[in-house]
Structure 1
Amino acid sequence: MKSDSQSKWRIHLFFWILYYILEVYLDFYWSRYQFPDFKWQIRLQNTFILELGYLFVKIPLAYALLYVYEKVDLKLIFKYILCIFIVTASVLGHRFLTHYIIYPYIYGVTETLDGKHTSGFINGYVVFNSFMDLIFMIGLIFGVEITRQKNVLKEQISQLKAEKLDQELTMLKAQINPHFLFNTLNNIYGMALKKADETPDVILQLSKVMRYNIYEAAEKTISLTKDIENIKDFIQIQKIRYHQLNVSFIEDIDNPFQKISPLILIQFVENAFKHGVSESLGEAFITVDIRLKNGILTYFIENSKQKQPHKHSTKIGLKNIRRQLELLYPNHSLSVEDKNNRYSVTLTIDFYDTTSH
């Protein structure tokens, strides 16, 4: 709110400076016809003074109307009546300043209509001129303020959308870590029951993976090479458990510093193990092919699977990652192929696509 208020007054100050300069220019241009005998230096000096005097009428009028428009809680008809009263009082103030101060004390002459006939304090022509001068200013200040408010509203909506996006992504990531940990601890539990010699190595490898998930994956983006390294660590844990697992890992990255949202890619590998390898009765295999060329990532995962997998196999991870891809890379391409004995996923992300977040 404080920054919004500061921005408002900066914009309004800038408006009044520009408005004052505009009015000085117009009045100075007009004064050479109204006061042809005055030197231009005198006319310019007088114009600066009188326009400054007019601001003492126009600024209170502007903010009185803005206050009624924004703050006063009245029925519309009463707001109109109040605004008419304020404008009428301001027109009278404008006339008083013009007739009794500006002409006699600044120009040193009596106010006239056409240079010959004396003008009174209240006259249809001069009142109309005062009214139009004030209405012109009112239109400008309201245009500036309404435009400013619309821009502030757009910024607030944009900020709320960004905050909502961050909250949803945080929630999704929070779902990923327990899901991964639950699966891996189940694996370690099974190995511990069998008193497998590899159990300590798996626990050490899990510690490395969880360190990545807790600390580095907390960042919005991370280098693609670090994310790939985490995938390799995860696969290493699974290879210790599945001795007959055949893993093919192909990596071709032309830019190791390319940034990616963490924990995006590993979910497909995790699903390949949970819903593929763990359900395969024969020799299991997983193929991982990840390539980055000219900012375009192509990620291919294929795994063996049982012809009739368990009907109640959970696929929370895949649903989760689909939602993350929709939020972070809306123009991504994701295709899934489910055959009798194998399951494959192909993901394409164009990091140079300006529509991606």
Structure 2
Amino acid sequence: MQIKKLNHKLLGRNSSGDFNITYKHHIIFWAVYILFNIFRWGNLHQDFAYSIKTNLLGFPIHMALAYFNIYFLMPKFVYTKRYFTYTVLLLATLFVGLLVKFNLTYYLVSNNVMPEAGDVESLTLNYAIVTMLGELYVMSFVTAIKITVDWLNENSKLHELEKRQLTTELKFLRSQVSPHFFFNTLNNIYSLTLEKSDRAPEIVLRLSELMRYLLYGTDKPYQDLAREIECIQNYIDLERIRFDNSLKIDVNVAGDIEEKKIAPMLLMPFIENCFKHGAGKNIGEMYIKIRMEVIDNILNFEVSNNLPPNATRNKLNKTDCGIGLTNVKKRLKLGYEPEDYNLSIFEKDKMYNVILKLKV
């Protein structure tokens, strides 16, 4: 945490992640700039007194031209795509800076305004070109810093917006799970009440346990895998009561499931589909196999059920696809990195199979 805070200070980032150029950064930049030039030109001319005078004189001109460019010319003309006007005004600004620097140097420092080029005591073309290029170099350097910081801020805001959109969509998808789940379970209870079954009270009790989990255990992005499996087991127990001995269910849980995390209610739609589209539509022997095993922080989740007859299955595919699988695929895409999961759904040997490998 301390390293993160230090990085934010060095980069000038606030708590929201934006890159801010404060007065402190301006002072440090220009202090380093002027000291560098004083030593550079002082060593070149072997006259540090002259270097200090000329740099202190030219320093305000550099600042004025640089800030005038990045805070007035560029926003008003470059960002509005008025490039010709910007070019003309930039050249005019450089020329004004040239005149100011020449006259201040000539009258306040020395008649020889460019010792490195010999004895220059007048405003020559060579002096004008060299001075304007020098000012343009400083302006370009400062402008590059400003553009870079602006780009970083825009990029940071874009990522933050994308993150918020993903978070919002994930919350929406999780909110879909509970109504969808309760809709199916309440249908089961309704069927039993029509039959005046003695099992209805037990199912209501099981359902209350599931409601407690859905209310208090699914408000976080990730939940304990052990609790998720417990929720699945409660749901399976509900369905066992409903179908009695007409349904064979084989459930196998293996591996170390403790201290592992998973998106809440992520696996439930696969289990629901087995009962809704398999057992609920089947005629004759009904079989569901569920296997969950954790190996090296990877959950190997497999579920399969025998398929209903072709006529019933074709009707199901056309009219009753449901939102469960679509929801799961979206949640996997939004909540996990592509390399963290692999989902396969296929039919083989008259069995509907789902295989999910997920990092937990």
TM-score class, shorter-chain normalisation, is 0.7 to 0.9
Match of 1:71 among 76, 80, 89: 76
Which one of the candidate residues 9, 15, 19 is aligned to 1:7?
Answer: 19
Residue in structure 2 matched with residue 123 of structure 1 by the alignment: 124
Cross-structure match for 1:96: 103
8 Å CA contact 1:254–1:292 kept in 2: the answer is: yes
Name the CA distance, whole Å, in 1 between partners of 2:257 and 2:103.
74
Matched, 1:30 2:41: yes
SS of residue in 1 equivalent to 2:19: helix
Displacement after TM superposition at 1:87 (Å): 1.9
Q: Does residue 349 of the first structure (1) align with residue 358 of the second (2)?
A: yes
The aligned runs of 1:173-252 (5 Å cut-off) are 173-244=174-245, 245-252=247-254
Is 291-300 or 199-208 further displaced after alignment? 199-208
| Cα offsets for 1:222-244 (capped at 9, x unmatched) | 12111111111111221221111
Q: Which residue of 2 aligns with 1:355?
A: none
Structure 2 length-normalised TM: 0.82
How many Å apart are 1:140 and its aligned residue?
Answer: 0.7
Q: Give the letter aligned to residue 209 of structure 1.
A: L
Name the structure 1 match of 2:55. 51
For the pair 1:334 / 2:343, whether they are aligned, the reply is yes
Q: Does 1:325 align with 2:332?
A: yes
Quote the offset at 1:78 in angstroms: 1.7
Tell me what 1:168 maps to: 169
CA contact (8 A) 1:246 1:284 kept: yes
Q: Structure 1's 48 and 200: CA in aligned 2 closer, same or farther, altered over 3 A?
A: farther
Match in the other structure for 1:316: 323
Q: Rate the CA distance shift 1:207–1:27 in 2: closer, same or farther, 3 A.
A: same
User: Which residue type is aligned with residue 40 of structure 2?
Assistant: Y
What CA distance in whole angstroms lies between the structure 1 residues aligned with 2:97 and 2:190?
Answer: 84
Q: Is the 8 A contact 1:20 1:51 kept in 2?
A: no
The alpha-carbon distance between structure 1 residues 282 and 74, as it changes in their structure 2 partners (threshold 3 A), is closer
Distance 1:185 1:48 in 2: 85
Percent identical? 25
Inter-CA distance 4–318: structure 2 relative to 1 (3 Å threshold): closer
Moved more, 172-181 or 307-316: 307-316
Contact between 2:62 and 2:138, CA under 8 Å: does it hold in 1? Answer: yes
Work out the CA distance in 1 between the residues paired with 2:164 and 2:359: 24
Could you tell me how far 1:100 is from its partner in structure 2? 2.8
Q: Which moved more, 1:146-155 or 1:122-131?
A: 122-131
- Provide the C-alpha distance between the structure 2 equivalents of 1:5 and 1:93, rounded to a whole number of angstroms: 41
- Deviation, 1:188, is 0.9
Deviations 1:306-355 (A, max 9, x none): 2233513333212221222233342322222324653221111245xxxx
Does structure 2 retain, via aligned residues, the 8 Å contact 1:306–1:340? no
Amino acid corresponding to residue 148 of structure 2 in structure 1: T
Q: TM-score, normalised by structure 1?
A: 0.83
Residue 272 of structure 1, aligned match among 271, 274, 277 = 274
Aligned mates of 2:55, 2:26 — CA distance in 1: 15
Q: Deviations over 1:232-289 (max 9, x none)?
A: 1111221221111322221113251122111111111011111111122234332211
Structure 2 CA distance for aligned equivalents of residues 4 and 62 of structure 1? 28
Among 20, 28, 35, which residue is 1:17 paired with? 28
Counterpart contact for 1:333–1:347, Cα < 8 Å: yes
- Helix, strand or coil at the partner of 1:300: strand
CA RMSD of aligned residues (A): 3.0
Q: 1:136 to 1:76 in 2, by over 3 A?
A: closer
User: What's the CA shift for 1:155?
Assistant: 2.0
Structure 2 contact 225–262 (Cα < 8 Å) conserved: yes
Task: Determine if contact 2:288/2:304 at 8 Å carries over to the other structure.
Answer: yes
Task: List gaps (5 residues or longer) in structure 2.
Answer: 1-12
Aligned residues: 337
- Per-residue deviation, 1:85: 1.9
